Amino acid sequence: MASLNWIGKDAVVNHDREVPFKLLHKVPSASVGKESKNLVIHGDNLEALKALMPFYKGKVKCIYIDPPYNTGNEGWVYNDKVNSPKIQEWIKKVVGREGEDLTRHDKWLCMMYPRLRLLRDLLTENGVIFISIDDNEHCNLRSLMDEIFGIGNFVVSFPRRTKSAGKTTDAVSANNDYVLVFAKNKKSVVFASLAIDDKAYKYKDEFFKERGSFALSQTLDYDSLSYSKSLDYELTLDGKRYYPGGRKDKFLSRKAGNHRSSDWAWRWSKELVNFGHKNGFLVVKKGKNGEPRIYTKTYYKVVIEKVNGSYQIIPIGRTKKLSTLDLTDSQYSNDVAKKDLRGIFGASAEFAYPKPISLIQYLIRAVSNTRNSIILDSFSGSGTTGHAVLDLNKKDGGNRKFIMVEMEDRVAKNITAERIKRAIKKYGYEDGFEFCELAKPLFNEKGQINERCSYTELATYIYFTETQTNAEKKNIKSPLVGVSGGTAYYLLYEGKGKNDLTRAALTKLKIKQPAVVYADRCLIDEDELREKGVVFKQIPYEIKVY
């Protein structure tokens, strides 16, 4: 497979491993409700994604990101360019002197690579990532994703209508961007069919409750591609006679043998017509020329089917397969996004280029079984993803949770979190969210553990580095962190002077299987530990760095 090269690539291919692990600290005054599992994280997503890893690796079903498009548009400093001061500083630090020669495309690729690596690790095996992008980086992103996710996990690139008219000065007006879709493992993903647009189903009758509304698009007769003698018959409905095509003389002529393959016939057999008529599936209406025509009713919720030799009315869910043209509908355009935001902030809505709620909901619903899943957006801007999740839960009774990350100081609290806060109040959503800041790294420059780190945080981190799986918070019962692959993991972390592995402490652990014990010091000799199947690891030096 051809792979993409750019200046600075060598410096970033394994950079996700080097990012220091930071703790997340909740800010109750900026949160809504208590202990909500929805998160709004203020910080650079590289560090935030890393901080999420011990808790969410392999647990996120859908990721939607809308990274900077890298248009080079100088006026749009925060979300359009990788020239944001924070990203500039980061590139200087990570790529070093070579970074001075980077083009804006090199910089963008350097910025995206480690983030995409972390995002991939956060996805469930049947998870999907959706990325909004336009022609500035579409090709580069596709190559990057092929490399990180595997070319076989490419699903589709949806064009999306951005607006109805472009600049008149453009040779060709560019009215679309894309949503690039990759699966973590394409074989494990099931894409849903969407409920079809029911605009065509505009009529109601006495069966509305059990059958839904109906469409009247087709007459019972048509000029066929292959004429069928058995479907060319005289039909009597409520005492009146009807002929395919409406002409008795032509019918008689066909019956006399003068028929062509394209001649008119009924679409339904006599038996089906009898059943349909008796059950209200046929209606006589005036056609275009004023003559009476028989129409078949297509109900939204039911169809007629032959079961064990006889016709029956069967309930169905009318759905259609996803199409690459779906997002060209104007309901997914930027104009709608602006209206969404104005609905919350009024005319003062200050955020350039938000995405519409409808787009995120379409994408979430495109993946089957997301009702209880986690949805992540690590370039969250105005917070559309969180809003879309809360709204979808209200509509369909789901229990989805969102995680959003936003780097810019002026945006995270005042726009991302504020939007969700206002939306909860305005639309009566039941859930809340925790606002989090990225705290200091878990280990300081001297390699000591950050003193704000709680027992559960350190235990979760240790369990993750030992097993590469996430510990269940409820299963952490100090000093036992958890059991994995037949080994029990213990952590003595009770405060200064209380974290020694003494004989008394060991007896208290009541160890019954091979065990790893993390503690400040060990006061038992090695032979005795070996005999008991215990491995001692010293805090903080032997805690692996993830």
Ligand X SMILES: C[S@@+](CC[C@H](N)C(=O)[O-])C[C@H]1O[C@@H](n2cnc3c(N)ncnc32)[C@H](O)[C@@H]1O
Stretch that binds ligand X, among 135-143, 223-231, 374-382, 459-467 (CB under 6 A): 374-382
Nearer to ligand X, 220 or 412 (CB): 412
452, 439 Cβ separation under 8 angstroms: yes
Asked whether the beta carbons of 16 and 90 are under 8 A apart, the reply is no
**Chain length of the chain:** 546
Q: If binding is defined by CB under 6 A, does position 332 make contact with ligand X? A: no
Q: Which residues pair with 534 in a beta bridge?
A: 515
Q: Residues 51, 52, 54, 55: what is their CA dihedral angle, to the nearest 10 degrees?
A: 150
Is residue 66 a contact residue for ligand X (CB under 6 A)?
Answer: yes
CA 175/CA 215 separation, integer angstroms: 33
According to the binding rule CB under 6 A, does residue 78 interact with ligand X? yes
Q: Does 382 bind ligand X (CB under 6 A)?
A: yes
Distance from C-alpha of 430 to C-alpha of 414, rounded to nearest angstrom: 21
Q: Which residues contact 546 (CB under 8 A, 6 or more apart)?
A: 17, 21, 50, 53, 54, 461, 464, 465
Q: Segment contacting ligand X (CB under 6 A): 186-194, 258-266, 401-409, 454-462? A: 401-409
Among residues 80 and 263, whose Cβ is nearest to ligand X? 80
- Between residues 46 and 424, which has the closer beta carbon with respect to ligand X? 46
Least separation in angstroms between residue 63's CB and ligand X is 12
Whole-number minimum distance, CB 139 to ligand X, in Å?
Answer: 19
Minimal CB distance to ligand X: which residue? 381
Among residues 379, 433, 435, 463, which is the contact residue for ligand X, using CB under 6 A? 379
Rule CB under 6 A: is residue 408 a binding residue for ligand X?
yes
In angstroms, the CA 114 to CA 49 distance is 10
d(CA 534, CA 525): 11
Nearer to ligand X, 16 or 406 (CB): 406
| Residue 407 within binding range of ligand X, rule CB under 6 A | yes
DSSP bridge pairs for 405: 41
Q: Which of 355, 400, 413, 537 binds ligand X (CB under 6 A)?
A: 355
With the C-alpha atoms ordered 362, 364, 365, 367, is the resulting torsion angle positive or negative?
positive
* 137 scored as a contact of ligand X (CB under 6 A): no
Which residues partner with 286 through β-bridges? 292
Contact window for ligand X (CB under 6 A) among 156-164, 199-207, 255-263, 381-389: 381-389
Q: How far is the CB of 95 from ligand X (least distance, A)?
A: 15
- 408 or 466: CB nearest ligand X: 408
Name the minimum Å distance from CB 429 to ligand X: 17
Of 189, 405, 488, 543, the one binding ligand X (CB under 6 A) is 405
Beta-carbon count within 10 A of 503 CB = 10
One of 99, 114, 127, 354 touching ligand X (CB under 6 A): 354
3-state secondary structure of 426: helix
In the list 19, 145, 294, 411, the residue contacting ligand X (rule: CB under 6 A) is 411
Distance CA 422, CA 172 (A): 40
Residue closer to ligand X by CB (options 373, 385) is 385
Question: 524 Cβ partners below 8 Å, 6+ apart?
Answer: 501, 502, 503, 506, 536
Told to check if 406 binds ligand X by CB under 6 A, we report: yes
User: Using CB under 6 A as the criterion, what x/- string covers residues 334-353 for binding ligand X?
Assistant: -----------------x-x
Count of residues that bind ligand X according to CB under 6 A = 19
Neighbour tally for 388: CB within 10 Å? 27
Alpha carbons 221 and 247: distance in angstroms, whole number: 12
CB of 68 to ligand X, least distance (A): 6
> Cβ 510 to ligand X, closest distance in Å?
45
At 481, list the tokens.
């962190």
The reply on whether position 384 binds ligand X by CB under 6 A is yes
By CB under 6 A, the residues from 5 to 64 that bind ligand X are 44-45
Contact 217, 201 (CB under 8 A): no
Nearest approach in angstroms of CB 76 to ligand X is 9
CB of 361 to ligand X, least distance (A): 12
Residue 489 corresponds to which tokens in the numbers above?
């993991």
- CB nearer ligand X, residue 213 or residue 382: 382
3-state helix, strand, coil in the chain (%, to 5): 35, 25, 40
The residue from 31, 38, 79, 296 that contacts ligand X (CB under 6 A) is 79
284 close to 294: Cβ distance less than 8 angstroms: yes
> Considering only 1-9, 326-334, 407-415, 457-465, which stretch makes contact with ligand X by CB under 6 A?
407-415
Distance CA 435, CA 49 (A): 15
Report how far residue 329's alpha carbon sits from residue 320's, in angstroms, rounded to the nearest whole number. Answer: 15
- Binding residues for ligand X, rule: CB under 6 A, are 44-45, 66, 68, 78-79, 351, 353-355, 379, 381-382, 384, 405-408, 411
